[in-house]
Amino acid sequence: MADPQIPTVDLSPFFSQDDEDGKKKAMEIITEACSEHGFFQIVNHGVPVDLLKRALQLSSIFFDYPSQEKLKSSAPSNAPIRTGYNTQPPQSPDKNEYLLIFPPGSSFNVFPQNPPQFKQVLQDVYSKLTKTAVVVEGIVNQCLDLPTNLLKEFNHDRSWDFMVALRYFPATELENNGLTQHEDGNCLSFVFQDDAGGLQVRKDGDVVKFGVVRPKGRSRYSFAFFHNLQGDKWVEPLPHFTKDIGKPPKYRGFRFSEYQQLRVRNKTHPPSRPEDQIGITHYEIIS
């Protein structure tokens, strides 16, 4: 899988009042990155690095516990959402286990009691990433030259966001050490990982996909935060980018919850062929 040079953006100007040149430079980088890659790295993002390191350290301790201890943090089998501790279905090509967290205060959450500090660290990371996501969404709004606060007002419900702590198992000599390439089905994704690395991206035609390469001999720990849409929202190309500039839309409109259900099916009933995975191209308008 190719490893393109991903641009790095300094967000510190957006946490001050008088660095207009810094904001302009960051917006230029983000505009190009979103047009050419779909990915960019951020620094000075408002989340203390020591907190992120602590989260990774505690997650590695948690995932190294015996199964009986980790399963104490699983949602009941009849729960509407499988929060807490989970493993990928046996038929899934992605060899990992994960801890799914919804907004602090959500009745769906099942937090681990051990390690003792883990719950508080998870909540702290979640809270700070939520704020960073709102900042980045606002920057994207400006980069796209949309009406002020259009994205914020459209996507104001934060109860649909979630965070995942992940452990990818070590690769073996008998299996492909790469995990499924995929597209995230949400607005913004934030990922941070330990020094095992492994996150790789590639630009494939008009669609940016990413996957993970698992190292041999050691687990890989990471976190992913997803800034989502409320399920009943209707998604379609904005006239700002189609009718107003005289170009037809590439995709038809859809309800976000429908799209998410199709993507969940990718996990619960993985198709035999990679090309049958449901992604945004499912809604592509074929002329």
CATH number, domain containing residue 96: 2.60.120.330
Length of the chain: 287
Domain end marker among 212, 230, 248: 230
| Measured distance CA(72)–CA(176) in Å, rounded | 31
Q: What is the SS3 assignment for 73?
A: helix
| Measured distance CA(107)–CA(101) in Å, rounded | 11
Q: What is the SS3 assignment for 48?
A: coil
Q: How many domains does the chain have?
A: 2
21, part of any domain: no
Q: Where are the alpha helices (DSSP H) in the chain?
A: 20-36, 49-63, 67-70, 118-143, 150-154, 256-268
CA 285 to chain centre: 26
273, part of any domain: yes
Count Cβ atoms below 10 Å from residue 246 Cβ, excluding itself: 6
Q: What is the SS3 assignment for 212?
A: strand
Positive/negative CA dihedral, 85, 90, 91, 92: positive
| Measured distance CA(180)–CA(272) in Å, rounded | 12
56, part of any domain: yes
Are 223 and 239 in a shared domain? Answer: no
Domain of 280 in residue numbering reads as 232-287
Closest CA to 225 of 174, 195, 187, 266: 187
Mean per-residue pLDDT pooled into runs of 10, the chain (287 residues): 68 89 94 85 94 97 96 87 83 78 90 95 96 94 92 92 91 57 79 75 49 65 93 89 84 92 80 80 87
Closest CA to 193 of 68, 96, 91: 96
155 token code pair: 């996507």
282, part of any domain: yes
Q: Residue 11: what pLDDT?
A: 95
Q: Residue 157: what pLDDT?
A: 92
Q: Residue 210: what pLDDT?
A: 43
Are 215 and 263 in a shared domain? Answer: no
Are 125 and 204 in a shared domain? Answer: yes
Are 106 and 239 in a shared domain? Answer: no
101, part of any domain: yes
Are 93 and 146 in a shared domain? Answer: yes
Which residues lie across from 227 on neighbouring strands? 188
17, part of any domain: no
24, part of any domain: no
| Measured distance CA(53)–CA(218) in Å, rounded | 18
Q: Write the single-letter amino acid at 43.
A: V
276, part of any domain: yes
